[in-house]
Amino acid sequence: MNEASIIVCRCEEVTLEQIRETIRQHGCSARETKLRTRAGMGICGGRICRPLLDRLAIKPGGDFPSELPLKVQPPVRPVSFTDWGQS
């Protein structure tokens, strides 16, 4: 497996390559990258991928680009995995 095919956002199946390409092509901030790729918009609300997405959007030698880092958005009501199987 090469580094580019690493899944950063498991919920939305967004790869490192997709995120890097979006940032390179559009000069995106973390928020815009999230909107363009859907990384961080899955069921976990960005709890897993948000820190990496923030770090990837930092310009080399710079700080977070003109915005605060993305926040974690937990689900409105937590649901256990055992509840998913029941209808």
**Cβ atoms of residues 45 and 75 within 8 Å:** yes
pLDDT of amino acid 72: 61
Calculate the CA 11 to chain-centre distance: 9
Q: Which residues of the chain have pLDDT under 70?
A: 1, 59-76, 78, 86-87
- What is the pTM assigned to this prediction? 0.66
**Cβ atoms of residues 29 and 22 within 8 Å:** no
**Cβ atoms of residues 59 and 67 within 8 Å:** no
CA atoms of 63 and 57, how far apart (whole Å): 9
List of domains in the chain: 3-68 (1.10.10)
